[in-house]
C-alpha cells in the first residue's frame, strides 16, 4: 500500500515537473515570438531628411554633463560647434557652489546609480573609482571627457544666453551676454546682449533642475516664525543657516528630500519627513550587487519574456519582493506608498530606514497648515519646528525662448516632443537634450540623443511625417498616464533600456548577438551597459568589447579597500604622488582611442 502511494507520488511529481517545464518553455516561446513580432512591426517610414552639408554650425546651450556629451557627438559629426556655458566650469549642477543662486549638488552628494551604468559609452570611468562616486570625482570625470574629445576648447565660459529666435525658416539667432551670476529667470530685466550669432541647428542642454518648484502657500505660512526654504538652496548643515540642534521638517520624499533628511538627522534635534504619497525606498545594494546591476532587466529577459507580462506583472512583483524581502514592508516604516513600486520614480537610500529606526527621523503625513511655531499635518498632529525645507522638485524652463516659440504648460512642452527630443511645432533643427527623468542614469541617454540629432543633421537618418510623430507622442503619453502616479515629475519619465533601444534603432546601433558573439555573456545576461551601443554601426568603438567584459566582471565586486585619489584637487594629488601630477584618463581607465 505504502509502496503504491510512493509510486503514484513520484509519478505525480515527475508529471508536475514536466508540465511546469513545458509551461516555462511555452512562456519563453511566446515571449520570443511576441517580442520578435513587436520588433518586426512596420515602423513609419522616414520622410524628413537633411541634405548632407546643409547643417554647418551648431550651438549647444549648456556645458553640463549633457551639453558636453551632445557637443562631442556634434564635433565628431563634423559640425562647427559653439557651446555657451553661463558659469566658469564644466559640469552644470554637479559643480558644488555655496552661492544659493547656482543650482548645484549639496556638499555631501554621491551618485545613486553605479559608475558602470552612468558613464559615457566610449569613455569608461576609472576602474579604481568606487561604485557610487562623490560629486567631485564625477566633475573631474566630466572634465577629462571634455578634454579627451576636444570639447573644452569649444566652450564659451561665463556667457549667458539671453534670447534664441528663429531667423527665417532655416536658421537660429542666439544672443548672449556676459554672465551676471544670477539665473535668467531671477532677473527682472535680462542683460543686454553683446554677441549675436547665427546657427543652422541648436541643442538645448540647460537641464531641468534649475528653477525650483514652490508649492501653493499653505494656510498660515506667512505667520510662521521659522525658516522656510527650498532644497534648491540647501548646501550643507551650516551654510546659510545653522541646522544644529534645530527641529526640522523636510517636505518631500524624493531622493533630495531623503538625502537632506538623512544628513540633518545627524546634527538636528529632530527631523520630521513629511510625505503625501509615501515611497518605495530601495537600498543601494541588493544581494551584494549595486541596485541597478541587480534589478535592471538583461537582454535575455527582454528577449524571452513577453513585454506586457514583464512590464505589468513580473517587474512590479520582482521590485516589491526585492524591497520587502530585504527591509520589510514600507508601511511598517510609516511610508505606506500609494502605488506599486514601478508606478513612481524610485527613492534610493541605504540609510533612511536606519535613521527612522533610531528615531532621528520621524515620518509624518502631508502638511496642511502652519502656525507661529508649529507645522500641522493632515492626520491632525502638529510638531514644533524651527525650519522647513521644501523638497518639491523643479519646473521645466527655457527662459531664453519667448513663450510663443516654446511654451511649457504643467511641466509639459506644448505640442509634445518626438522621442522626447524634437518639439513637434518647430523645425527639426532644434533638439532638446536630457529633458528626461530615467529609471537609470541620464548621461548615456543625453549622449545617445546627441548621436541621433547629429546623425539627422548630417543626413545619415531621417524622421517620419509630422502625423506619425504626433501618433508616437500620443502613444508615449498614454503609456505614462497608464503606468505612473499622476505627478508633474512623471511627465518626462522614461525607462532607460527601452528608451535607449528606441534611439539606438534610429541610428542603427542596437547590438546584434550574432555579430557580437565574443561578448555574448555580458550582452545577454548583464545590465544594459552604455558601451554596448558602441559595438557596431556608426560611431563604433574598438574598446567596446573590452569595456563590456570589464563591466560584467565588476558586477559582484565589493567597494575598494583603498579609496581612489581621483577626487583630489590637482595640488593635493601632486603632493600625494610626489609631484607626478594627475594621471591621464587614458592611463586610469585603460581607455582605447576611439576609431576614427
What is the CATH T-level fold of the domain 214-392, as seen in this structure? Answer: FAD/NAD(P)-binding domain (3.50.50)
DSSP string, 271-303: EEEE-SS---EEPSEETTEEHHHHHSPPHHHHH
pLDDT at 584: 40
The residues near 575 (Cβ < 8 Å, ≥ 6 apart) are: none
Residues 375/383, Cβ–Cβ less than 8 Å: yes
Nearest to 446 by CA among 438, 434, 456, 431: 434
Tens-digit pLDDT profile for residues 141-198: 999 999 999 999 999 999 999 999 999 888 999 999 998 877 777 777 888 889 999 9
Q: What are the distances in angstroms from CA 185 to CA 24, 101, 188, 360?
A: 56, 11, 8, 37
Burial 431-462 (b: 16+ CB within 10 A, else e): bbbbbbebbbbbbbbbbbbbbbbbbbbbebbe
Hey, where are the domains in the chain? Answer: 57-211+395-553, 214-392
Q: How far apart are CA 392 and CA 366, in angstroms?
A: 12
For 576-595, how does the pLDDT look when each residue is reduced to its tens digit (9 = 90+)? 444 443 434 343 343 433 33
Which residues of the chain have a pLDDT value below 50? 27-28, 30-32, 34-38, 561-562, 570-571, 573-596
What is the residue whose three cell numbers read 513545458? 22
Q: What is the rounded CA–CA span in Å between residue 177 and residue 491?
A: 32
Given this structure, which CATH class describes domain 57-211+395-553?
alpha beta
Identify whether the C-beta of residue 135 lies closer than 8 Å to the C-beta of residue 110.
yes
Q: How far apart are CA 538 and CA 452, in angstroms?
A: 11
Quote the DSSP letter at residue 333.
G
Cα distance between residue 175 and residue 187, in whole Å: 16
Instruction: Give SS3 for 270.
Output: strand
pLDDT at 312: 77
**Cα distance from N-terminal residue to C-terminal residue, the chain:** 78
Per-residue DSSP letter, 122: T
pLDDT the model gives residue 5: 58
> Do the domains 214-392 and 57-211+395-553 match in fold?
yes
State residue 397's pLDDT score.
Answer: 87
3-state per-residue secondary structure call for 491-554: HHEEEHHHHHHHHHHHHCCCCCCCCCHHHHHHHHHCCCCHHHHHCCCCCCCCCHHHHHHHHHHC
| Residue 482, all three cell numbers | 497608464
Instruction: Compute the distance between CA of residue 553 and CA of residue 483 in angstroms, rounded to an integer.
Output: 34
Amino acid at each position: 500500500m505504502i509502496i503504491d502511494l510512493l509510486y503514484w507520488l513520484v509519478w505525480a511529481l515527475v508529471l508536475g515537473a514536466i508540465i511546469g517545464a513545458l509551461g516555462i518553455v511555452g512562456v519563453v516561446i511566446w515571449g520570443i515570438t511576441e517580442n520578435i513580432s513587436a520588433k518586426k512591426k512596420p515602423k513609419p517610414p522616414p520622410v524628413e531628411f537633411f541634405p548632407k552639408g546643409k547643417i554647418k554650425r551648431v550651438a549647444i546651450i549648456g556645458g553640463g554633463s549633457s551639453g558636453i556629451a551632445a557637443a562631442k557627438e556634434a564635433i565628431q559629426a563634423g559640425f562647427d560647434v559653439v557651446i555657451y556655458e553661463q558659469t566658469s566650469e564644466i559640469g552644470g549642477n554637479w559643480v558644488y557652489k555655496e552661492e544659493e543662486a547656482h543650482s548645484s549638488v549639496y556638499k555631501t552628494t554621491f551618485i545613486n546609480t553605479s559608475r558602470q551604468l552612468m558613464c559615457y559609452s566610449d569613455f569608461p570611468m576609472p576602474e579604481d573609482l568606487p561604485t557610487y562616486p562623490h560629486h567631485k570625482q564625477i566633475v573631474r570625470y566630466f572634465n577629462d571627457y571634455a578634454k579627451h574629445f576636444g570639447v573644452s576648447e569649444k566652450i564659451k565660459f561665463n556667457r549667458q544666453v539671453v534670447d534664441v529666435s528663429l531667423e527665417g525658416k532655416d536658421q537660429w539667432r542666439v544672443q548672449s551676454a556676459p554672465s551676471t551670476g544670477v539665473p535668467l529667470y531671477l532677473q527682472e530685466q535680462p542683460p543686454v546682449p553683446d554677441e549675436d550669432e547665427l546657427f543652422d541647428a541648436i541643442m538645448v542642454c540647460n537641464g531641468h533642475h534649475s528653477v525650483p518648484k514652490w508649492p501653493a502657500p499653505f494656510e498660515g505660512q506667512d505667520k510662521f516664525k521659522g525658516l522656510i526654504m527650498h532644497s534648491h538652496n540647501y548646501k550643507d548643515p551650516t551654510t546659510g543657516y545653522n541646522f544644529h540642534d534645530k527641529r526640522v521638517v523636510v517636505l518631500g520624499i524624493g531622493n533630495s528630500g531623503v538625502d537632506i533628511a538623512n544628513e540633518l538627522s545627524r546634527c538636528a534635534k529632530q527631523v520630521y519627513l513629511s510625505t503625501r504619497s509615501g515611497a518605495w525606498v530601495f537600498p543601494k545594494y541588493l544581494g551584494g550587487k549595486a541596485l541597478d546591476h541587480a534589478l535592471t532587466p538583461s537582454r535575455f529577459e527582454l528577449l524571452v519574456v513577453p513585454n506586457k507580462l514583464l512590464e505589468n506583472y513580473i517587474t512590479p512583483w520582482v521590485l516589491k519582493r526585492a524591497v520587502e524581502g530585504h527591509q520589510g514592508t514600507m508601511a511598517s516604516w510609516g511610508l505606506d506608498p500609494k502605488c506599486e513600486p514601478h508606478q513612481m520614480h524610485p527613492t534610493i537610500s541605504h540609510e533612511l530606514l536606519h535613521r527612522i529606526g533610531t528615531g532621528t527621523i520621524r515620518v509624518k503625513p502631508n502638511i496642511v497648515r502652519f502656525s507661529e511655531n508649529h507645522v500641522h499635518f493632515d492626520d491632525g498632529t502638529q510638531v514644533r519646528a524651527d525650519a522647513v525645507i521644501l523638497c518639491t522638485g523643479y519646473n521645466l524652463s527655457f527662459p531664453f525662448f519667448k513663450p510663443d516659440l516654446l511654451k511649457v504648460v504643467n511641466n509639459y512642452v506644448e505640442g509634445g516632443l518626438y522621442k522626447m527630443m524634437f518639439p513637434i511645432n518647430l523645425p527639426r533643427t532644434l533638439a532638446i537634450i536630457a529633458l528626461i527623468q530615467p529609471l537609470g542614469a541620464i548621461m548615456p541617454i543625453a549622449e545617445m540623443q546627441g548621436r541621433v540629432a547629429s546623425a539627422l543633421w548630417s543626413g545619415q537618418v531621417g524622421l517620419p511625417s509630422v502625423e506619425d510623430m504626433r501618433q508616437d507622442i500620443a502613444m508615449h503619453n498614454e503609456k505614462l498616464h497608464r503606468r505612473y502616479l499622476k505627478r508633474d515629475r512623471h511627465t518626462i519619465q522614461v525607462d532607460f533600456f527601452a528608451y535607449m533601444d528606441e534611439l539606438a534603432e534610429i541610428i542603427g546601433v542596437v547590438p546584434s548577438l550574432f555579430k557580437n558573439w565574443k561578448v555574448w555573456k555580458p550582452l545577454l545576461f548583464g545590465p544594459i551597459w552604455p558601451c554596448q551601443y558602441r559595438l557596431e554601426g556608426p560611431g563604433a568603438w574598438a574598446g567596446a568589447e573590452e569595456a563590456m567584459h570589464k563591466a560584467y566582471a565588476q558586477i559582484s565586486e565589493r567597494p575598494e579597500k583603498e579609496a581612489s585619489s581621483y577626487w583630489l584637487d590637482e595640488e593635493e594629488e601632486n603632493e600625494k604622488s610626489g609631484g607626478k601630477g594627475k594621471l591621464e584618463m587614458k592611463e586610469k581607465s585603460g581607455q582605447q582611442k576611439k576609431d576614427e
